[in-house]
Amino acid sequence: MPFEIAATDSNSQARAGLLHTAHGSVPTPAYMPVATKGAVKTVSVPELEQMGANAIIANALHLYLRPGALNLQRAGGLHKFMLWNRTIFTDSGGFQIIRKKLNIKKNDDGLIFKDFFNGSIKHYTPELCMEMQHAIGSDVAMLLDDCPPFDAVPSKVKEALQQTLLWSKRGIQRGRELGLPQIFAIVQGGTDAALRRYCTEELEKLNPDGYGIGGLSIGEPKEVMIQTLTDTNHILPKEKVRYLMGVGSVKEMLDAISLGVDFFDSTFPTQCARHGTIFTSQGRLNMKGLKLEKEDRPLDENCDCETCKKYSRSYINHLLRESEMLGMRLTSIHNLSYVLGVIRKARAHILEGTFIQFKKSIQEGDITPS
Amino acid sequence: MPFEIAATDSNSQARAGLLHTAHGSVPTPAYMPVATKGAVKTVSVPELEQMGANAIIANALHLYLRPGALNLQRAGGLHKFMLWNRTIFTDSGGFQIIRKKLNIKKNDDGLIFKDFFNGSIKHYTPELCMEMQHAIGSDVAMLLDDCPPFDAVPSKVKEALQQTLLWSKRGIQRGRELGLPQIFAIVQGGTDAALRRYCTEELEKLNPDGYGIGGLSIGEPKEVMIQTLTDTNHILPKEKVRYLMGVGSVKEMLDAISLGVDFFDSTFPTQCARHGTIFTSQGRLNMKGLKLEKEDRPLDENCDCETCKKYSRSYINHLLRESEMLGMRLTSIHNLSYVLGVIRKARAHILEGTFIQFKKSIQEGDITPS
């Protein structure tokens, strides 16, 4: 079995596991930095390795447009193209439907949209989506899903669910033919418990290797997200990976871990970093709003990342104010290291049976330096 | 003596030397990457060390505005602020006069301008300029100069020359009081040989530790630059450093070395890099205009920089097209490594007496990949 569960927390649904792929074993729970187009914004692969990232996630739809399947295949796949030798997940591109500016149309045959670059019309079928992930050399591929916006009317949520089921059926068949090592189905159904149950039960019939939990953290209130996640995890088979898509705030990840989630991805840590919002053990520090010229200490005194080992708040603050890319790189390295570190510690605490205490100790409020 | 000349080429005026500072000895000829605001755009200090940069140049006027003298002093100077332990040159800020959008006024008392950030009026005197370079902890400070545009009428060139002489007199007095380790005067005089001679002779009376050659490479034809440089170097004392300011094209640097120049700085290699113009041993490769998707080879097959050791043209081309900052970092590392490498080789050839042959072998035309 590619997924092993090493321990389950007795006070919550949290579990510590290992996902085995051809590019190493990923200890879970795991947070994946996002390399949509084959690079995690501002940071290099050696920097990702240094901070202990074991898996990243790229986007099949973006890579389909550029550099395209042929170029990726010729390069020997995304691992060789970007020089990342650890695990690669790939998202299918279904999530892009909710980005209104992309103006993506859909029908039973998949997505129809204008190529962002040359204006040509693209037909992105559930099968093509798997062929693309095959060209990428993805370790864990996602089936094409139809993600409705959080405020969609019930009829639209149902329609998207049916579309997801149809596309998943077509996609997994093609994916198995191609021999993709692991294929995850994405659960949709909005915030309706009955629809989530129905979707999960139907997807189970396809026997995917794991499950993405889609359609959450897209604008709905946090309580609604937690309730939907609780409902969904309750139904998902325990022995398979559960990957909550698009969640990257530490508090939300810890809540989701306590409900039995294994994987996360989100651009939130790097987006915050580029805009000067720093995650620390004391809470969130918004560098742009503060006078940090006199602060010789690191971003987080309890952090041993490459940024905090060397650089002062005053220098990083200066770089961000001057729009120097080095500043965004240093804050991205820190925020990613911080998130990876919290999730790594969460796993250790699950193994030790102290996860709930650890979860309570994590601060995420805004702080002002003294 | 802080500057030693180790060898002089018998077929040209080229010389190989060593400039000793409290932060190491810089083999000359030397190219300095530009860290205007305390960071070389897109690259880190360990990356600069790795590529063999021995000196960088920052700008006193920019650092005066942000982070300011007090903050730099409190941080222990620019070396500690940015974590660079090798030599730092600082430009005075006189060059900024020709940037029309800054709208800098001048009088005998220095520069008057609006703070770019808060709109307050700043009086930047020749003395304050040296105090700022003292706060920075500069190893080699420049006296405040008045740089006229290349198309200035003769009366304006003379006026700027007189201003430069007056400011230099005031600046060096303050600089010596402060104990700045090395102070260079900047030769102006436009493209008029007599004015350059007069300026040099007057500056010599101040006994500066070396000379910046200013007011060149700002729009004048290349032949005019070479002629003016020939005239100027002819007069400058042989035993002191000659630093040609703002020149960073490899061909122009090699021409200037053959005329006896020791130091260079320019943002040209990093600006080109960010825009996809790559310096290679075969000539210049403009990545933006080319189809490089199928090129697995490095940017330059004869280069051993960190970028060329690992990354393919196709991946870098993809990153630049997607505006990923990592792409600009990788091309900046390459272009800087390339320029530093050529200048390092030029020095070795001066020592071996083969500089002229080496100079002829360097290609700088545009190339298209086969």
Dist. CA B57–CA B370, nearest whole Å: 38
Q: Name the residue among A39, A92, A34 with its Cα closest to residue A67.
A: A39
- Model confidence at B111, in pLDDT bands (50, 70, 90)? very high
Same structural domain, A188 and A304: no
- ipTM score of complex: 0.96
In angstroms, rounded to a whole number, what is the distance separating the alpha carbons of residues B123 and B111? 6
Model confidence at B126, pLDDT cuts 50, 70, 90, reads: very high
Residue B369 lies in a domain: no
Residues of A within 8 A of B84 (CB-CB) are none
Amino acid, single-letter form, for residue B96: Q
A305 and A179 together in one domain: no
Other beta carbons within 10 Å of A225: 23
Pairing of strands A140-142, A183-187: parallel
**What pLDDT does A98 receive?**
87
Let me know whether B329 and B210 are in one domain. Answer: no
Contact residues, chain B, for A81 at CB < 8 Å: 312, 314-315, 318
Domain C-terminal end among B208, B238, B266 = B266
Decide if pLDDT at B213 tops 80: yes
Q: Kindly state the DSSP code that residue A244 receives in the 8-state scheme.
A: E
Q: How far is CA B346 from CA B254, B353, B361, B363, in A?
A: 8, 10, 11, 14
On whether the CB atoms of residues B2 and B182 are closer than 8 A, the answer is yes
- pLDDT tens per residue across all 370 residues of chain A: 899 999 999 999 999 999 999 999 999 999 999 999 999 999 999 999 999 999 999 999 999 999 999 999 999 999 999 999 999 999 999 899 888 888 999 999 999 999 978 899 999 999 999 999 999 999 999 999 999 999 999 999 999 999 999 999 999 999 999 999 999 999 999 999 999 999 999 999 999 999 999 999 999 999 999 999 999 999 999 999 999 999 989 999 999 999 999 999 999 999 999 999 999 999 999 987 677 888 999 999 999 999 999 999 999 999 999 999 999 999 999 999 999 999 999 999 999 999 999 999 998 888 876 5
B214: domain CATH number is 3.20.20.105
Chain A partners of B336 at a C-beta cutoff of 8 Å? none
Q: Are A130 and A167 in contact (CB under 8 A)?
A: no
Spatial CB neighbours of B302, under 8 Å, sequence gap ≥ 6: B280, B281
Exactly one of A91, A139, A209, A255 is catalytic; name it.
A91
Nearest to B133, CA basis, from B69, B87, B85: B69
pLDDT-based confidence at residue B370 (cuts at 50, 70, 90): low
Nearest-neighbour CA in chain B from A64: distance (Å):
12
**Is residue B120 in a domain?**
yes
B11 plus B45 within the same structural domain: yes
CB atoms within 10 A of CB A45: 20
Q: Report DSSP state, residue A178.
A: H
Average pLDDT over chain B, rounded to an integer: 96
Task: Check if the beta carbon of residue B3 is closer than 8 Å to that of residue B239.
Answer: yes
Q: Do B255 and B316 have their domain in common?
A: no
- H or E segment and range at residue B28: strand B24-28
Contact criterion met (CB < 8 Å) for A315 and B66: no
Cβ contacts of A204 within 8 Å, gap of 6 or more:
A237
Q: Which among A37, A315, A325 has the least Cβ separation from residue B42? A: A325
What span, in angstroms and rounded, lies between the C-alpha atoms of A145 and A130? Answer: 12
Residue B366 in any domain: the answer is no
Which residue, among B128, B56, B134, B137, has the nearest Cα to B93 in the 3D structure? Answer: B128
In 3D, which of A78, A28, A5, A69 has the Cα closest to residue A265? A28
Does residue B284 share a domain with residue B136? no
**Token pair belonging to B272:** 């080109």
Instruction: Please report how many Cα atoms fall inside a 13 Å half-sphere around the Cα of residue A198, on the Cβ side.
Output: 14
Q: Are residues B315 and A37, on separate chains, in Cβ contact within 8 Å?
A: no
Q: Are residues A293 and A258 in the same domain?
A: no
- Same domain? A255 vs A283: no
pLDDT, position B116: 78
Shortest CA gap A308–chain B (Å): 13
Q: Tell me: do A193 and A295 sit in the same domain.
A: no
User: Quick one: B257 and B205 in the same domain?
Assistant: yes
The reply to whether B107 falls in a domain is yes
Report the pLDDT value the prediction gives residue A116, as an integer from 0 to 100.
Answer: 78
- Cβ contact B174:B126 at 8 Å: yes
Angle (CA) B208 B213 B216, round 5°: 160
Residue B91 in any domain: the answer is: yes
The reply to whether B365 falls in a domain is no
- In this complex, do B319 and A39 lie within 8 Å of one another by their Cβ atoms? yes
The string of pLDDT tens digits covering residues B52-83 is 999 999 999 999 999 999 999 999 999 999 99
Q: Residue A71 half-sphere exposure, CB side, CA atoms within 13 Å?
A: 21
Which of residues B216 and B365 earns the better pLDDT score? B216
Please give the residue range of the domain that contains residue B51: 3-266
Instruction: Name the residue among A43, A75, A318 with its Cβ closest to that of B67.
Output: A318
Query: For residue A297, what is the DSSP state?
Result: S
Domain count across chain A:
2
Q: What gap in Å lies between CA A124 and CA B59, rounded to an integer?
A: 52
Residue A174 confidence (pLDDT): 98
CA distance B147 to B157: 8
Catalytic residues of B: 91, 265
Contacts of B216 (CB under 8 A, 6+ apart): B225, B228, B229, B244, B245, B246, B247
Span B158-181, mean pLDDT?
Answer: 98
- Whole-angstrom distance, CA of residue A105 vs CA of residue A109: 11
Full-model pTM: 0.97
Is the domain of A248 the same as that of A292?
Answer: no
| B157, B195 Cβ separation under 8 angstroms | yes
Residues of B in contact with A116 (CB under 8 A): none
Name the helix (H) or strand (E) containing B172.
helix B154-178
B291: pLDDT confidence band, cut at 50, 70 and 90? confident
Q: How far apart are CA B295 and CA B310, in angstroms?
A: 13
| CA–CA distance, A361 with A282 (Å, rounded to integer) | 10
Residue B310 sits in the same domain as residue B262: no
Q: Which residues pair with A87 in a beta bridge?
A: A55
B295 within domain boundaries = yes
Query: Which residues, 6 or more positions from B276, have their beta carbon under 8 angstroms from its beta carbon?
Result: B286, B287, B288, B317, B320, B331
Cβ–Cβ of A318/B83 closer than 8 Å?
Answer: no
Which residues on B lie below 8 Å from A41 (Cβ)? Answer: 324-326
The arrangement of strands across the sheet holding B24-28 comes to B3-8, B15-21, B24-28
Say what angle helices A250-258 and A222-235 make with each other, to 10 degrees. 30
Q: What is the pLDDT of residues B81-105, one digit of tens each?
A: 999 999 999 999 989 988 888 899 9
State the number of CA atoms in the 13 A half-sphere of B334 facing the CB: 31
CA distance B345 to chain A (A): 29
Domain boundary among B226, B242, B266: B266
Q: Does residue B364 form part of some domain?
A: no
Question: Beta-carbon neighbour count of residue B201 at 10 Å?
Answer: 10
Query: What is the predicted pLDDT for the residue at B369?
Result: 63
The per-residue pLDDT for A363 is 82
Domain boundary among B240, B266, B292: B266
What angle is formed at CA A276 by the lines to CA A288 and CA A365, rounded to 5 degrees? 90
- Whether A151 is catalytic is no
